[in-house]
C-alpha cells in the first residue's frame, strides 16, 4: 500500500504536483517483540547490536503481570482502566495497582531507550496488542469478554489508538532520528473470525464476528495512527488479506504456517511489505543463514515474482516473540535473521 499524498507537501514548480511521499521505512531484519529477561537496558543493547538496521522496543513479559501483552497494551489506554483478577485482565471503573505497575514498566523502558539508543536514526518498531486481541483478552465488569460488545470494542479501539499515538510521540521525543513503525499483534483474531473463543464459563464458544466488521474496526485503528502499521499474527489461518485490506503497510506471519499464496501475491502486488518469520520462536537447532535465505528464495519463486525484488519486499523476523526462549537462543535467532537477510541482496 503506497503512502498517501500529504496535501501540505511541497509542490514541485516544474510539474505543479505535490512532492512524492517519503517511502515507508523498512530494514532487512527485525524482531517480533518479546525477549527473555527482565532488564530493559540489556534487552535494548542486545536488539540494537543484533538488529542494527531495524531494532524494536523489546517486551519483557518475564517481569510479571503488567509486562505481558495485554497488560502492557492496557498501560497505553486513555480514559479506560483495567485491573488483574484471578480470571485475567478486566475493565474496571478506576485504575488499580496492576495498571500502574504496567505503566511503570513502560516508563522504565522509555528511559532505557533514551539511554541506550537516543542517537539512533532509522526505522524503529513498537508493538502493542491489536484492537481485536485486546477486546478478546479483556473482560467487561460483568465477566464476559469485551469482544462481544460493539460499544466496548469501539471504546477500546479508540482509547488504544489515542494511547499508541502518544506512545509514538514519547518514543520520537527520546529518539528523534527514529522512523517509527507500529506493530499490532493480533494472535486472537483467527479465533474471533472462526467463533473459537471460549465463553467466560469455558463451556461454550462466543459467536464469530463477521470479517467485514473485523476489517472495518481494525482499519479505524490503523488509519488513526499516522505512521506505518504492521499487523502481526503467528497463529494458524492468519487472515493476511484482511490485514492488507484494513490498510496495513506490512503483514507479519510465520512462514511455515501460511499456505494461502494468493493472499501473499495480492499483498505483494499492492505494495504491502512482508515480514515473514523464518526461525522458530523457541529453542531449536537452526539451519545456516544461507539455508534460511535459500528457503525464502524458493518460496518467492513459487509466488512467481522476480528474484531481484525479494530483498526490498521482505524484512526477516523470528516466527513469533522470543520470550519463551533462552537468552542465548534469542540472540542466536536474531543473528540468524540478520545474516540470512544479507544473502538476499543481489550480487
Residue 1 placed within a domain: no
Residue 5 placed within a domain: no
What is the per-residue pLDDT for 256?
93
What is the per-residue pLDDT for 143?
77
Residue 261 placed within a domain: yes
What is the per-residue pLDDT for 260?
87
The count of domains in the chain is 1
Residue 17 placed within a domain: no
The C-alpha torsion from 218 through 221 and 225 to 230, rounded to 10°, is -20
What is the per-residue pLDDT for 1?
36
What is the per-residue pLDDT for 332?
97
Three cell numbers, residue 163: 494511547
Query: Which pTM does this prediction carry?
Result: 0.92
What is the per-residue pLDDT for 285?
96
What is the per-residue pLDDT for 6?
38
* Residues 211-237 as b or e (16 or more Cβ within 10 Å = b): eeebbebbbbbbeebebbbbbbbbbeb
What is the per-residue pLDDT for 179?
97
Residue 67 placed within a domain: yes
Residue 3 placed within a domain: no
* Alpha helix segments (H runs only) across the chain: 40-50, 69-74, 97-117, 131-137, 150-174, 189-194, 211-225, 240-245, 261-269, 289-303, 310-313, 327-342
Report CA torsion sign: 326, 332, 334, 340. Answer: negative
Of residues 32, 95, 82, 22, the one with CA closest to residue 61: 32
Residue 13 placed within a domain: no
Angle at 11 between CA 7 and CA 13, to 5 degrees: 160
List the pLDDT tens digit at each of the 347 positions of the chain: 334 433 333 344 444 444 444 456 799 999 999 999 999 999 999 999 999 999 999 999 999 999 999 999 999 999 999 999 888 899 999 988 999 999 999 999 999 999 999 999 999 999 999 999 999 999 998 878 999 999 999 999 999 999 999 999 999 999 999 999 999 999 999 999 999 999 877 789 999 999 999 999 999 999 999 999 999 999 988 999 999 999 999 999 999 998 889 999 999 999 999 999 999 999 999 999 999 999 999 999 999 999 999 999 999 999 999 999 999 999 999 999 999 999 999 87
What is the per-residue pLDDT for 23?
59
Of residues 238, 249, 260, the one with CA closest to residue 192: 238
What is the residue range of 230's domain?
Answer: 24-342
Residue 51 placed within a domain: yes
Q: What is the CATH number of the domain that holds 81?
A: 3.20.20.210
Question: SS3 string of 137-149?
Answer: HCECCCCCEHHHC
What is the per-residue pLDDT for 24?
67
Amino acid at each position: 500500500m503506497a503512502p498517501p499524498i500529504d496535501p501540505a507537501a511541497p509542490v514541485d514548480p516544474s510539474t505543479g504536483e505535490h512532492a512524492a511521499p517519503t517511502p515507508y521505512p523498512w530494514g532487512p531484519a527485525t524482531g517480533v517483540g518479546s525477549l527473555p529477561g527482565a532488564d530493559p537496558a540489556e534487552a535494548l543493547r542486545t536488539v540494537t547490536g543484533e538488529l542494527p538496521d531495524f531494532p524494536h522496543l523489546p517486551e519483557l513479559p518475564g517481569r510479571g503481570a503488567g509486562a505481558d501483552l495485554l497488560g502492557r497494551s492496557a498501560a497505553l489506554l486513555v480514559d479506560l482502566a483495567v485491573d488483574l483478577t484471578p480470571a485475567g485482565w478486566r475493565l474496571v471503573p478506576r485504575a488499580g495497582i496492576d495498571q500502574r505497575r504496567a505503566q511503570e514498566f513502560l516508563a522504565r523502558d522509555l528511559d532505557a531507550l533514551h539511554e541506550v539508543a537516543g542517537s539512533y536514526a532509522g526505522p524503529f518498531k513498537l508493538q502493542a496488542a491489536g484492537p481485536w486481541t485486546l477486546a478478546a483478552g479483556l473482560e467487561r465488569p460483568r465477566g464476559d469478554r469485551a469482544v462481544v460488545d460493539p460499544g466496548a470494542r469501539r471504546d477500546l479501539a479508540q482509547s488504544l489508538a489515542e494511547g499508541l499515538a502518544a506512545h509514538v510521540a514519547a518514543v520520537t521525543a527520546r529518539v528523534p532520528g527514529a522512523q517509527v513503525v507500529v506493530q499490532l499483534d493480533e494472535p486472537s483474531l483467527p479465533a474471533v473470525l472462526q467463533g473459537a473463543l471460549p465463553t467466560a464459563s469455558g463451556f461454550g464458544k462466543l459467536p464469530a464476528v463477521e470479517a467485514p466488521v473485523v476489517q472495518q474496526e481494525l482499519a479505524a485503528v490503523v488509519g488513526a495512527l499516522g505512521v506505518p502499521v504492521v499487523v502481526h499474527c503467528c497463529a494458524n489461518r492468519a487472515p493476511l488479506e484482511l490485514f492488507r485490506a484494513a490498510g496495513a503497510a506490512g503483514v507479519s506471519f510465520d512462514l511455515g504456517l501460511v499456505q494461502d499464496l494468493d493472499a501473499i501475491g495480492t499483498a505483494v502486488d499492492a505494495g504491502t511489505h512482508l515480514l515473514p518469520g523464518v526461525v522458530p520462536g523457541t529453542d531449536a537447532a537452526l539451519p545456516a543463514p544461507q539455508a534460511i535465505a535459500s528457503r525464502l528464495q524458493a518460496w518467492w519463486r513459487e509466488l512467481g515474482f522476480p528474484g531481484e525484488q525479494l530483498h526490498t519486499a521482505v524484512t526477516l523476523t523470528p516466527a513469533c516473540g522470543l520470550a519463551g526462549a533462552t537468552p542465548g537462543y534469542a540472540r542466536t535467532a536474531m543473528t540468524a535473521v540478520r545474516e540470512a537477510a544479507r544473502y538476499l541482496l543481489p550480487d
